[in-house]
Every structure is written in C-alpha cells, then in structure tokens.
Amino acid sequence: MSSQNIYILGIESSCDDTAASVIYNGKILSNVVANQKIHEEYGGVVPELASRAHQQNIVPVVDQALKKANITKEHLHAIAFTRGPGLMGSLLVGTSFAKSLAMGLDIPLIDVNHMQAHILAHFIDEEGFNKPPFPFLAMTISGGHTQIVKVSNYFEMEVIGETIDDAVGEAYDKSGKILGLGYPAGPEIDKLAHSGNPKAFQFTKPKVAGLNFSFSGLKTGILYFIQRETKVNPNFIEENINDICASIQYTIIGILIDKLKLASKQTGIKHIAIGGGVSANSGIRQALKNGESKFGWTTYVPKFEFTTDNAAMIAIVGYLKYLENNFSEQNVTASARLKI
C-alpha cells in the first residue's frame, strides 16, 4: 500500500443505518452508525421514514465521525459514498450530501458499490485480521442479499451464485416475525439458538440447482409448522422457542455451507470470506471455522462492527479507489439496483 497520508470520509445511507467513517490510509479512525429505531414497530424498514431519518442524522453523524477521528473536514482528501444498491430515497440523501461536501471542499468524490464494500471490508487494516489473497470466494449474506462472489482482484468480481427469492437475512427476520420476535430478528434467533437443540425439528431444505439459493420455501415451511403445532398446543412457541430457533439456524447454516462447499469444489478456491449482516451470526462463524479442518479452507470473518451496514467498509473502498485515481463526476447518480 501507498506511503501517502490519505484521509477519506466514507458515508453509508443505503437502507436504515446512517453511517460515517474516517479512514487514514488503511486504518479506521472512526466508525459511527446511527440506527433507526423507528422501523421496529413496523416489523421492517419503511422507506419514506428511512429517508427522513437519514436527513436528520447525516449532519450529526458526519460531524461525530470527524470529531472521533480528531480531524476537521479540511484534512479530508476525498469523500466516498454508497451509490447503490439500496432504497432510492435513502441513497439520495447520502449521495447529495457527499456531492455537496466534495464540491464545497473541492476534493474528489468516489462512488462505492455497497455489495463490493461488504466484501472489501476484509481489506481494512485491523490487528488480528488477515486479508484474503486473490482469488477468493466471498459469500455476502445480509437482509437484502445472498450471493457467492468470485473475487479475482479488488474490483474484479463475478457473482457465481445468488438467491432467486428472499435473502438469508429476510429468512431470519420473517421467521422471527412468525415467532413474535422483534425486528430485526437475526441476532435474537442467534442468541436463543444457543440454548436449543438444533435437531429438535426438521425443516426441508430448498432444492435449487447449482450455486443459487432460495429461502422463501423455508419461510413458508416454518409458518405452516408453527400454525400446525400451535393448533394442538397454543403455548408451543413459548415452550419450545430455543429448540425452534436452534433448528431454524441449523437449517439455514446447512443451506449456506452446502453451497459454499459446491462453489469451492467448482472453482478450486479454498480461501473463503463472509460479509454482510448475517456474517455476525455465531453459528455461521463456527461452521466456517469447522470448514478449515473439514475441507482444508482458510476462512476470513470480518470484525463484528464491519459486518452489519457501516461506513468503514465504504471508506476502505474509497481509499482503494483513491490509490487508483478512480474518481466520480459530480453528475453521478444513485442507483437502487446497482450490480457488483
């Protein structure tokens, strides 16, 4: 990496987290995230409310990121922002803020693909975390996406498998809704699963050819199962919540690991990384680790704070692009369906 002294501000506003981060060369100096509590009562993200909350949060969040990094905006060399994919109303807030800040400071603007950022978060300089060598496989698992990506270089990525319906995070969140848990349900299911028996209940795994995923059938299977059981015993959920969560988690992890095994076999690549909100899951982390002795993999799991949506991952991509003089024009537009 370069020996220049580069400060970059990263801004993330693709969904319901407003985030800002300052990176100095490859090292994160600050990583501020404002979660939007407002969506909890709706059991999912409400786009209009998300956009409004971003407008309220963005100035204080950026301000805090600069303060925590102990710099002023005049120190910055470039502004990196999430261009997409995500919710259009949310993306527009970050995009227009980044554009005006870059213009006001007369420094380069750098657009970042959110899904690439989840993968490139592995290149943040962080003690105790190794960076994967190219080529490696990255499985991005979040509330909006489920993909297996062959990463040949920083910006040379190919999606080799993806979900044909729901994302894996949605499977967690929708299962949680059926069970009466809060939103997002992933972390809670993960916690409850610890004290349950993963083989207590069996759920059918989807049959999807090749490296693609499907999670909508699993969600329906869980719904019918719960409806059937609660008819017999109205307290079924309360009495079995740990076992239900452990069994759901076991099934989901099985689906993910099966596809990773196939991807590794087909490509011959044994360096395997995960990213995205669901990579915070303790079960998938353990299963990946087990793959080291079972399948000869070398695995890479991001630091916890870089798994769910954050701006540090946007800042590292900004830094990598800055080194390549890969800047955006002021007329760049947000793109809700931006592809890798």
| Interface with ligand KG4 (CB under 6 A) | 15, 142-144, 169, 172-173, 184-187, 190, 276-278, 280-281, 308-309
Instruction: Give which of ligand KG4, Zn ion, none residue 328 binds (C-beta under 5 to 8 Å, depending on kind).
Output: none
Our CA dihedral for 329, 333, 334, 338, rounded to 10 degrees, sits at -80
Instruction: Give which of ligand KG4, Zn ion, none residue 275 binds (C-beta under 5 to 8 Å, depending on kind).
Output: none
> Which residues of this protein are in contact with Zn ion, per CB under 5 A?
142, 309
Instruction: Give which of Zn ion, ligand KG4, none residue 108 binds (C-beta under 5 to 8 Å, depending on kind).
Output: none
Instruction: Give which of Zn ion, ligand KG4, none residue 169 binds (C-beta under 5 to 8 Å, depending on kind).
Output: ligand KG4
For residue 132, the 8-state DSSP code is P
Instruction: Give which of ligand KG4, Zn ion, none residue 94 binds (C-beta under 5 to 8 Å, depending on kind).
Output: none
The smaller minimum CB distance to ligand KG4, of residues 126 and 309, is found at 309
CB of 144 to ligand KG4, least distance (A): 4
Nearest of 203, 187, 193, 282 to residue 241 by alpha carbon: 193
CB of 238 to Zn ion, least distance (A): 32
The smaller minimum CB distance to Zn ion, of residues 166 and 243, is found at 166
The smaller minimum CB distance to ligand KG4, of residues 51 and 322, is found at 51
CB of 70 to ligand KG4, least distance (A): 27
Please name the residue that has the structure tokens 């809060």: 182
Task: Determine how many CB atoms are found less than 10 A away from the CB of residue 126.
Answer: 18
Nearest of 12, 16, 48, 92 to residue 335 by alpha carbon: 92
156-162 vs 146-153, strand pairing mode:
antiparallel
Distance CA 71, CA 23 (A): 11
Which stretches of 199-240 are assigned E, i.e. beta strand?
Answer: none
Strand partners, 300: 273
Our CA dihedral for 85, 86, 92, 93, rounded to 10 degrees, sits at -120
CB of 269 to Zn ion, least distance (A): 23
CB of 312 to ligand KG4, least distance (A): 13
